[in-house]
Amino acid sequence: MIMEYLIENSSLHIVISGKGAEIQSVKNADGTEYIWEGDPAFWEDRAINLFPIIGRLHKQGYTVYGERYGMGLHGFLQDIETEVIEKGEDGITFRLQDSESTMSVYPFPFVLDIKYKLEGNKLNITFMVENTGERDMYFGIGGHPGFALPFEKDLAFEDYFLEFEEGREPYRLWMAESELMSGVEEAFALRDGRYLDLKHSLFDKDAIILRDMGHSVKLKARGGERSVSLEFPDMRYLGLWHANETEAPFICIEPWTSYQATEGETDAFDERKDMLSLPPGETYRNEWSITFH
Q: DSSP for 100-113?
A: HHHHTTS---EEEE
Question: What DSSP state is assigned to residue 269?
Answer: T
- Amino acid, res. 162: L
pLDDT of residue 171: 98
Angle at 198 between CA 193 and CA 202, to 5 degrees: 95
Residues with Cβ within 8 Å of 118's Cβ and at least 6 positions away in sequence, in order, are: 7, 8, 9, 11, 12, 14, 90, 91, 124
Number of domains in the chain: 1
Q: Give the burial string for 256-274 (b: 16+ CB within 10 Å, else e).
A: bbbbbbbeeeebebeebeb
pLDDT of residue 232: 98
Q: How do residues 192-203 score in pLDDT, each as one tens digit?
A: 999 999 999 999
d(CA 145, CA 230): 10
Residues with Cβ within 8 Å of 50's Cβ and at least 6 positions away in sequence, in order, are: 74, 75, 77, 78, 140, 141, 142, 143, 144, 254, 256
Q: How do residues 141-194 score in pLDDT, each as one tens digit?
A: 999 999 999 999 999 999 999 999 999 999 999 999 888 999 999 999 999 999
Confidence band of 2 (pLDDT split at 50, 70, 90): confident
Answer for the pair 186, 143: CB distance below 8 angstroms, yes or no: no
Closest to 275 (Cα-Cα) out of 96, 53, 50, 59: 53
Mean per-residue pLDDT of the chain: 96
For the segment 224-241, the average pLDDT, to the nearest whole number, is 97
What Rg do the C-alpha atoms of the chain give, in angstroms? Answer: 19
Question: What DSSP state is assigned to residue 177?
Answer: T
d(CA 141, CA 112): 10
The rounded percent of the chain whose pLDDT value lies above 70 is 100
CATH of the domain at 90: 2.70.98.10
The rounded percent of the chain whose pLDDT value lies above 90 is 97
Q: Residue 96 sits in which domain range?
A: 4-292
Confidence band of 1 (pLDDT split at 50, 70, 90): confident
Q: How do residues 264-286 score in pLDDT, each as one tens digit?
A: 998 999 999 999 999 999 999 99
For the segment 102-112, the average pLDDT, to the nearest whole number, is 98
Confidence band of 51 (pLDDT split at 50, 70, 90): very high
pLDDT of residue 144: 98
Residue positions counted in the chain: 293
